[in-house]
Amino acid sequence: MIPLRRFYMIRHGETEANAARIMAGSLDSPLTQAGRDQARAVHRVIQDLRDKPTLIVHSHLSRARDTASIINEALKVPMIEDSDFAEIHAGDLEGVGWEHCHHFDDYRDMPNGERFEDFFARVRRAKNRILGSEPGPVLIVSHGGVFRAFTKLYGISIPGVRNCHLHEFSPVAAAPENSVPVFPWDVWHYDYTATLIRSRADIFYK
């Protein structure tokens, strides 16, 4: 369905909407100072990667663009803006508190918003375009909903994704012992304490 190439993906840093616990969707909610600090903290992870991204692709929303620009201080690679990687347009729910936004739980279309079917289609289109044309590895800087849409294309529902938490997607080579992959990529995430820690996300196996 989508070219099986290795790539990195990260959600933008904390925004004013995140801090206020409201749905931003297509609203252009800027990064908080904490969000900018989160993006700068990714420098340590980037510097210790064995195979660093050679290109950054980000959505047109400032929270993704600014996160990408800060991360690129450590990479200094070309950057491309692609609006197909933007968050879903949440319609009447934009600016509403998260406690009232349960549509993502069962993927019900939001009033006056972008249909999930159309959202999934543009995420697929964006993935096909960038992974089909760039040797990579590419770093995609986007949004929590884009993560969820990407995995939902393969029938997988995932919980929320942390701000500025780097993920690596590698074509499946070997599943963990006594497990079967339900997704064509091995998914790894990175943390940095005293050293760089790379952990497999087991939710993608059964």
Q: Is 73 a catalytic residue?
A: no
User: Contact, 60 vs 133, CB < 8 A?
Assistant: no
> Which one is catalytic: 14, 58, 60, 87?
87
User: Contact, 138 vs 14, CB < 8 A?
Assistant: no
Task: Kindly list the structural domains of the chain, giving each domain's residue range(s) and its CATH number in brackets, ordered by start.
Answer: 7-204 (3.40.50.1240)
How far, in Å, are 13, 36, 55, 143, 147 from residue 127 at the CA level?
21, 26, 14, 14, 11
Please report, as a single letter, which amino acid is at residue 126: A
Q: Give the C-alpha separation, 22 to 130, whole Å.
A: 30
> Which one is catalytic: 12, 58, 103, 143?
12
Q: What are phi and psi of 72, to 5 degrees?
A: -70, -10
Q: Is 189 a catalytic residue?
A: no
Per-residue pLDDT in tens (0 to 9) along the chain, 206 residues: 799 999 999 999 999 999 999 999 999 999 999 999 999 999 999 999 999 999 999 999 999 999 999 999 999 999 999 999 999 999 998 999 988 877 777 788 989 999 999 999 999 999 999 999 988 899 999 999 999 999 999 988 887 899 999 999 999 877 667 676 788 898 999 987 767 888 888 767 65
Q: Structure pTM?
A: 0.92
